[in-house]
Structure 1
Amino acid sequence: MHSNTYINSSRSIGLYKRKNMRIGLLGGSFNPAHRGHIYISNMAIKLFKLHEVWWVINPQNPLKSSKSTAPLKERINYARNLIVGNRIKVQSLEDRYYTKYTYHTIKKLLQCQPGNKFIWLMGADNLSQINLWINWNKIFDIIPIAVFNREGYSRTVISSVAANYYNQSLYNKQNLSKIFKRDLPVWVFIRLRKLPYSSTEIRYNRKRNN
């Protein structure tokens, strides 16, 4: 059952009236959101010349246990309080569109927002297991994808099912903002310095300190 937690937010509704925007979609549980998410978002804004990055917080990751996942409203509120500035927005598109899987959520968003351009942002850990997602290959067919390296995952990415399947679609140009003009499928692997914090690390430290 969907709670429509974020549908009535004026901050959310206002976004959907704008056009000709380049928007990054950073999906995940955000359990909890942290500085690493902010770092990736700001880098994406810079590299791809994005107007905004939307944090797409899912109600429940089908591949993760619900026991360790905080309630959706709690995660949304925590993420919103963490953000500084107005170029990073918090969204719960699955809750809004009554969708469960990433492919269906993105497909619905693209149908509702034909006037904007989107790129899916994800960590290398997610690319290594994206082949377990429902309709994972169709995601590549409808939206550009940017994969941000996480320490210890470079080799995993190179040997992953998705990277090998879409090897010919890897974007290697310096001007990343032109990725929106490329035919799909297209994806890019971005090597960054070690990201500050991870949700897993934060949850571990919380348990240790309790």
Structure 2
Amino acid sequence: MNKIGLSKRKNMKIGLLGGSFNPAHEGHIYISEQALRLFGLDEIWWLVTPQNPLKKMKTNDTLIKRLNFAKKLVKNNKIRIDSVENKYKNNFTANTLKNIINRYKGTKFIWLMGADNLDEFHKWYQWQTIYSIIPIAVFDREYYSYSVFNSIAGKRYFNKLHKTKNSQSIFNSKLPSWRFLRIHKNSLSSTKIRNNKNYLKI
């Protein structure tokens, strides 16, 4: 089952990757598998949002279609897919994370995102709260390598950058703590796929 279970996962390390996933693609899988390896994670949860608060236009496809497409795409049983935000009737990451952390006490979570998201992170609702409640892993993305430390969030928390060789030690770091990972960049994006004339809607 891909769906996030109800049982508490005490002592597990879980990565949280949020987004519209419109559509989900190999780039999402690549980041997830890198995170599993680098941070020694037990699971990755894809948190498929009903609607990105920063985007005025509604997503092209319904939540159910996006969830179903993601579940068909993913073959790794360590990647679990659900729409927690829809259950909480909330579209804000900060609130979603508070709910998850409160519900799964004893579980170690890390927030995963691409460098393109960090560029606009200061526009997110309660973005500084997110830094204060969960460690963050920022993965390099094409065209965004140099904007990471020039972004408002990057500058604000530059002195909280986790620099030790052992990525997994971030779970023992005092918050706020974040890490920038210069992995092989995957140029795939949901926007590129949607703009492709051969793209078939799910």
What's the TM-score once normalised by structure 2's chain length?
0.94
Structure 2 distance, partners of 1:45, 1:89, is 12
Q: Does 1:40 align with 2:31?
A: yes
> Which residues of structure 2 form unaligned runs of 5+?
none
Moved more, 68-77 or 39-48: 68-77
* Structure 2 residue aligned with 1:4: none
* Structure 2 residue aligned with 1:7: none
Q: 2:87 aligns with which of 96, 101, 117?
A: 96
Moved over 2 A (4+): 10-18, 65-69, 206-210
State the Cα distance separating 1:13 from its structure 2 match: 5.4
> C-alpha offsets along residues 171-208 of structure 1, whole Å, 9 cap, x if unaligned?
01111011000000000000111215110110011467
* Structure 2 residue aligned with 1:76: 67
* Structure 2 residue aligned with 1:116: 107
Q: Is the 8 A contact 2:19 2:47 kept in 1?
A: yes
* Structure 2 residue aligned with 1:199: 190
State the Cα distance separating 1:70 from its structure 2 match: 1.5
More helix by share: 1
Structure 1 distance, partners of 2:65, 2:81, is 12
Q: Percent identity?
A: 49
* Structure 2 residue aligned with 1:21: 12
Q: Is the 8 A contact 1:35 1:196 kept in 2?
A: no
Residues 1:176 and 1:88: Cα distance change in structure 2 (over 3 Å): same
Q: Does 1:187 align with 2:178?
A: yes
Moved more, 108-117 or 42-51: 108-117
- In the comparison of the two structures, how many residue pairs are matched? 201
Q: 2:53 aligns with which of 62, 85, 95?
A: 62
> Which residues of structure 1 form unaligned runs of 5+?
1-9
Task: Name the aligned partner's letter for residue 103 of structure 1.
Answer: A
Structure 2 distance, partners of 1:209, 1:57, is 20
State the Cα distance separating 1:145 from its structure 2 match: 0.2
* Structure 2 residue aligned with 1:142: 133
Q: 1:159 aligns with which of 150, 158, 165?
A: 150
Give the superposed CA RMSD: 1.8
State the Cα distance separating 1:160 from its structure 2 match: 0.2
What's the TM-score once normalised by structure 1's chain length?
0.90
> C-alpha offsets along residues 25-73 of structure 1, whole Å, 9 cap, x if unaligned?
0011101000000000000000000000000110000111334431111
Residues 1:202 and 1:140: Cα distance change in structure 2 (over 3 Å): same
Structure 1 distance, partners of 2:165, 2:189, is 28
Q: 1:130 aligns with which of 92, 114, 121?
A: 121
Residues 1:207 and 1:65: Cα distance change in structure 2 (over 3 Å): farther
